[in-house]
Amino acid sequence: MNKKNAITLLLLLLLSLRVSAQKWDELSKTPQMGWSSWNKFQGNIDEDIIKSIADAMVSSGLRDAGYIYVNIDDCWHGKRDSNGFIQADPKHFPHGIKALADYIHARGLKLGIYSDAGSETCAGRPGSLGHEYQDALQYARWDIDYLKYDWCNTTNINARGAYQLMSDALRAAGRPIFFSMCEWGDNNPWRWARDIGNSWRIGPDIWCSFDSTRVFPTYVQYSVLDCINKNDSLRSYAGPGHWNDPDMLEVGNGLTVNQDRAHFTMWCMMASPLILGNDVRNMSAETKAILTNRELIAIDQDELGVQGLRFLRREGLDYWFKPLANGDWAMTILNPTRQPIVCKVNWQDFNFTDEAVSKRSTAFNKIVYKVRNLWTGRMEGKTSLKNKIDRQLTIPAQDVVTYRLYRK
């Protein structure tokens, strides 16, 4: 049997191994955390950059805070070999992806990679169309831990079928690989992707703006607020093993500190993937403090796995609540406007039951919670059973006040 026939036989064997559940659920009990190259570097990447990012994630404390994936986005691809297997760009990744994976793993991190369901990636590199099982097998050989799968150059391709095919291929290759679907929400993946991917993008790419949508002739880019407003209606589709993804974080890429804090907080309130997009080798003290806030990360990673909800919009402010596993609640007051707003908090205004998802009730009329401010780190008293104004707050422009409400 010649080499090409052997490869064909192997791929046919992999095709025969399809099973009903096609993803690795155990990889996504909570939303994924890590870093990706695209927001900061786009196509200007090489193995030295990826290695130095991994080193910085260790030395900065990001790894120990939970950020474990180091993801190479578009433009790592070289050509396919004579048997159709994809290879790394020899100029920018001269030692190959397997050697890079070994380097990443030696630092207690995991390596992610990128491909596309179409004929070419968004940057014009070889896509996986027609090579799904080969690519999945190659990733497994390279000890890859995460795949972001994009949606460029996919004319006349069925989205559900394309993502199911790659999900099948990853499962058949035998190595647990987190499957991040980047289909941009075009075909409502939240309605059908639960058993296919570990997370799915809900909309267009984010860009480094808090409140301005960027419009091009053939596509748009979402602001932070666009992502929040789109995700707000999709909370019933998220949960352990399957997450709505409003896209990677822009924290540290040029927003104000207030905007960065609000951006990070809302991703945590929405149980979103926390994939960093900044140059972690050169972070300000403020950026590092935001990204390593363990109490906010705990809100995102809470094992109950319920995406937060916007309960009330009043006088320019959004009041968000997120039920937590031990009976606690997270509460965030978001000011999306460009002016500071003074508000009065009456806990009795927030009595409700989350009928749509968790069935949990805040029950402020029956329960007294201890109140901890998660950005100042200070305890701020207790909620009140009485129908009175409890406190007056000033919410800075495009910023948040966030509490953890402790039941015990």
Cβ pair 330, 385 in contact under 8 A: no
Chain segment 64-102, per-residue pLDDT in tens? 999 999 999 999 999 999 999 999 999 999 999 999 999
Say what the pLDDT of residue 65 is: 98
Q: Which residues are known to be catalytic? A: 150, 205
Q: What is residue 97's three-state secondary structure?
A: helix
Q: How many CB atoms lie within 10 A of CB 207?
A: 18
**What is the Cα–Cα distance from 142 to 317, expressed in whole angstroms?**
48
- Whether the pLDDT of residue 19 is over 60: the answer is no
Token pair for residue 212? 């301005």
Burial 151-189 (b: 16+ CB within 10 A, else e): bbbbeeeebeebbbbbbbbbbbbebebbbbbbbbbebeb
Picking from 358, 333, 356, the residue whose alpha carbon sits closest to that of residue 344 is 333
For residue 335, the cross-strand partners are 399
Taking CA atoms, 375 is separated from 116, 122, 294, 363, in Å, by 39, 38, 10, 25
Q: Is the pLDDT of residue 253 over 90?
A: yes
Q: Which two tokens stand for residue 121?
A: 């990636």
What residue type is assigned to position 315 of the chain?
E
Alpha carbon distance 132, 136 (integer Å): 6
Quote the pLDDT of residue 22: 64
**Count of Cβ atoms closer than 10 Å to residue 19 Cβ:** 8
> Residue 48's Cα: distance from chain center in Å?
25
Residue 245 near residue 200, CB atoms below 8 Å: yes
Q: 362 vs 312, 366, 378, 399, 407, CA distance in Å?
A: 14, 9, 22, 24, 10
> SS3 breakdown of the chain: % helix, strand, coil, rounded to 5?
30, 25, 45
For the chain, domains (ranges, CATH) are: 33-301 (3.20.20.70), 309-407 (2.60.40.1180)
Place of tokens 């590199």: 125
pLDDT computed for residue 4 by the predictor: 52
Please tell me the distance from the alpha carbon of residue 33 to that of residue 276, in angstroms, as a whole number.
8
Q: How confident is the model at residue 388 (pLDDT cuts 50, 70, 90)?
A: confident
The predicted pLDDT at position 3 comes to 52
pLDDT exceeds 90 at position 20:
no
273 close to 33: Cβ distance less than 8 angstroms: yes
> Is there a contact between 140 and 150 (Cβ–Cβ < 8 Å)?
no
User: SS3 of 112, please?
Assistant: strand
pLDDT in tens, 332-351: 999 999 999 999 999 999 99
What is the rounded distance in angstroms from the CA atom of residue 151 to the CA atom of residue 302?
Answer: 30
3-state secondary structure of 86: strand
Total-model pTM: 0.94
Contact between 306 and 323 under an 8 Å Cβ cutoff? The reply is: yes
Question: What would you report as the CA-atom Rg of the chain, rounded to the nearest whole angstrom?
Answer: 22
Q: What pLDDT, on the 0 to 100 scale, is given for residue 389?
A: 75
